[in-house]
Amino acid sequence: MRIVLLGAPGSGKGTQAKMLMDHYGIPQVSTGDLLRAAVSAGTPLGQKAKAAMDAGELVSDDIVLGMIQERLREDDAANGFILDGFPRNPAQAEALDPMLEQMGQPLDAAVQIDVDMDLLMKRILGRRTCASCGAVFNVYTHPPKEDGVCDYCGGELTQRGDDNEETVRNRLEVYEQETAPLVDYYRGQGLLHTVNGVGEVDEIFAAITQTLDGIGDH
């Protein structure tokens, strides 16, 4: 099962990716993780990436594609993978497709976890994390029993510094401008499958796996 997972910040994409990894026994290939690992290991591509980041530049698509290619050659990706965080725009998708074809690992599906913008804002702005045990609450949808106090360990609940309205709105707008056109790109290829990202985590997961298993049957 070779899939690209699409979803705006706050859509629950990270949670679903981890569940899909366990379910299908395939790796989640996150470009952020790949970059950090390559830089810390000092690989040739990692050194190039570090030079770009040190200069305050974006790491080029060529470097990121090279890292993805190296990662997908590892044994655990033989039966499939979940691409998370790449491609971010149609140009990257157009560069990714021929590389995957050449490797004999073309995509089976692009799964979009769809959540309304207003709800995404609430999900992110309402998020509170326990500084002690890491439990996550939401003041709108899953509030703690006592304001600012973790239900489980009594620790202090904190809000991430970048979870303020201006930053969140900006992140969502960037996603809309850059990544939303990917939805049209994959729809044009007949690979797009949209799943409603509202509801219980397990319900959303069931909808995704049902969709993917249906593709596997063809």
Catalytic positions:
13, 88, 127, 160, 171
Distance CA 4, CA 90 (A): 13
Instruction: Give the residue ranges of DSSP H helices in 25-144.
Output: 31-41, 44-54, 61-72, 90-102, 117-125
Helix orientation angle between 31-41 and 44-54, rounded to the nearest 10 degrees: 100
Q: What's the gap between Cα 213 and its chain centre?
A: 20
| One-letter amino acid for residue 192 of the chain | L
User: Residue 113 forms beta bridges with which residues?
Assistant: 195
Q: Could you tell me if 58 and 51 are in contact, meaning their C-beta atoms sit under 8 angstroms apart? A: no
| One-letter amino acid for residue 204 of the chain | I
169 exposed, middle or buried (CB, 10 Å; 0-12, 13-18, 19+)? middle
Distance CA 143, CA 127 (A): 9
Q: Could you tell me if 127 and 160 are in contact, meaning their C-beta atoms sit under 8 angstroms apart? A: yes
Radius of gyration of the chain (CA): 19
